[in-house]
Chains A and B, each alone.
Chain A
């Protein structure tokens, strides 16, 4: 029986660029900026990196081109193995997973993962039209509903409200509470794109994008890059006194039954539930509601974060509203979610987001999160959700001391 990744790999360095509408930064600039920080943080030299994974970009038109050559060419990596991975919004974490597995397998001692996305050269507000996105496939461009990301997730909200008897007004208030919390956290983070507090009233009254989701229920759209350097756990202390250890790395992809079979309830994301179950087992966590100190989850939309609380077992089924309204997930709550401001305030440069989330968990665990610092966090969890709720690839990562 496989014994999993727990405590086999350590993070010894991380880097994260400023996120935002970086009109004056090329995708190559973003990679270099993340690389400069990660290499300095790890205290190693470029020649020490034995393999590298490039996450994304997902939306390549107008970006760097295919394969991992943009990474090796831009950073002038000296003929080491380089691999591009893409798994929609989980691409950053997928790159991290590749690096961790390489180290754990013994094929190298030190590996790097870098996720990057330059959305603001696509010419779109919001994510670009999905018909240009190869992951939907040529057939689905014709037969798939003409959906945008907010609409795909709005359908979670309409069904959730109907199932649990939540009125549209109550529901919108609950969702607004989720976004207001993230805006408060993001305002404390110099690397965030959106750094302004927003009130529940402002959120509820904002223009509707896809019913019932309004403007502030949607995350920002930005450019950014983030990177991590990992090594064998037993050599981590050679590089720094406070390495962070990988406890679980799980990915789950939809089987198609949520989309085409009739059992899926459309009030949760099955891939999240499955990935989380396996991650807790891998990390040896019995009670996630009490044991996971903090999490960065995939809040592409407020409703996504809300249902994720149930899928990650932070709230019992049908009860996330009570926890949200009681402030459980606030920075000063029992289980802070999105301490860095989340996708809500960082925006979502697709393939950068996963490693950006890890960056916050890493800093929090090292006690370096400045005004957002939580008290003695033990386990941090990150969660990425790519695709449509019924057609999703989800990663769940757990890190700790």
Chain B
């Protein structure tokens, strides 16, 4: 049977309490107020880097060589032309002879990519398909959408062996419903009157999709241990559950007050949260939202017990830091353009070089000397071990999944950073190898010699001169 063979998720470290947003913008739009907090991608994160983080969580110790297809779902791809899934595949150090595709333009793209992946496996075209969904949508300052949108990602591996939740069936609805939209070249989302969106879309499409699924497969909703659907109106989320006659235990909690509406990742992140609590034999129903709905029906197998050690939703939710400064939050997405000085003007990326060095740069591969066994970054043809010196006796050695310790460090107020001070240090990798990396997602005060660190894929710079996002790896203390 085809289904989910592994899962992972990512929620950025920083959370902004919606009161902080309201305190900054409430003078303008007093009617816009929402409870709770939302997750905020750091200045060096975007939908693509968060997808890589969820994928790393999902792939865990699985053999990456086995992945033969990768789909990326987002409405906020960093590139309009240059395949984003291809960047993710390179960062994950997947084989080049795989299929990749970007799914976009609808919040339903997350479940859409998932269904396409299941179909590919069912058809025998691929054996292990990785699906990542991630979004970083923007609302204008003072808008309801600014309050609602949160940032996060989910990743699911689909296959037909060692399945932890089999896909038993699906039912899809498609409507050209213009609740939110963003035309080409626009930065911010627009929304029609939200009472109309609430009453005509959420309260109709989700029950319709669920009813369609139940009818198609002659199922009874009472047989499901979890029913998962997103709704950006909390009261309506509960009301839909009442209409469906779900008891409290059956309803998967909305993440609106902890993470926010994560777009294409929203329903899939809630599914990951449901899988974290699932037991063998459980039935799970998922109804996504956006341009209609995709309803999916899963049967959890005993393999679920082998997939417990993910950071997933729970651990990422628990690992958090308050962002108390609205202006900083706004500057991260260039809503407030901050002075960057000459040092922030980075330009002239050499694309042909970046291609030649892709395994070193995006894939963080160094070399391991076949003669003396020394791991070294970046890839060297001449062994760096002064007692060896072998030439061209190297094999690739992946550092992105190695942990290490800070050998030395500093926090630098002169270097440009969108969130100063810029931090960096020399990372000594467990198992050998050493290189200086930027540090992220930590406080300068927490830095010390021998601090444990792991690697995280980030946007290192933006080359405005040539319109290029410069992705690379940084070190950070592990999220615990």
Contact = CB atoms under 8 A, between A and B. Distances in A.
Contact of A129 (B342, B350, B411, B437): B342
A139 B360 contact: yes
A388 B426 CA distance: 12
B413 A259 contact: no
Interface residues of A, number: 39
Nearest to B346: A131
Contacts, number: 130
A187 B155 CA distance: 64
Contacts of A156: 408
A123 B424 CA distance: 25
A158 B168 CA distance: 57
B267 to A, nearest CB: 36
A138 B444 CA distance: 29
B362 to A, nearest CB: 10
A155 B408 contact: yes
Interface string A375-401: 000000000000010100000000000
Nearest to A208: B413
Interface in B300-349: 342-343, 345-346, 349
B437 A266 contact: no
Interface residues of B, number: 51
Contacts of B409: 155, 158
A211 B342 CA distance: 22
A210 B386 contact: no
B384 to A, nearest CB: 5
A195 interface: no
Given A151-B415, A260-B435, A143 B386 contact: no
B410 interface: yes
Contacts of A210: 410-415, 421
Given A138-B353, A156-B408, A260-B377, A266 B460 contact: no
B432 interface: yes
A184 B376 CA distance: 45
A150 interface: yes
Interface string A226-242: 00000000000000000
B361 interface: yes
Interface in A307-353: none
Contact of A158 (B408, B414, B472): B408
Interface string A253-289: 0011101111000100000000000000000000000
A270 B16 CA distance: 47
A28 to B, nearest CB: 24
B104 interface: no
B153 to A, nearest CB: 24
B219 interface: no
Nearest to B437: A145
Closest 4 CB pairs of A and B: A151-B412, A154-B410, A145-B424, A159-B408
Interface of B: 342-343, 345-346, 349-350, 353-354, 357, 360-361, 374, 376-378, 380, 384-386, 407-417, 421-422, 424-426, 428, 432-438, 444, 448-450, 460-461, 470, 472
22 contacts: A129-B346, A139-B360, A142-B472, A144-B436, A147-B412, A148-B412, A151-B424, A154-B412, A162-B449, A210-B413, A210-B414, A210-B415, A210-B421, A211-B412, A255-B386, A257-B385, A260-B434, A260-B435, A261-B374, A266-B407, A388-B436, A390-B436
Given A123-B342, A138-B350, A146-B460, 19 more contacts: A128-B342, A129-B343, A142-B472, A143-B435, A145-B437, A145-B438, A146-B416, A148-B343, A150-B412, A151-B422, A155-B409, A162-B449, A210-B414, A213-B410, A256-B384, A260-B376, A261-B385, A261-B434, A262-B433
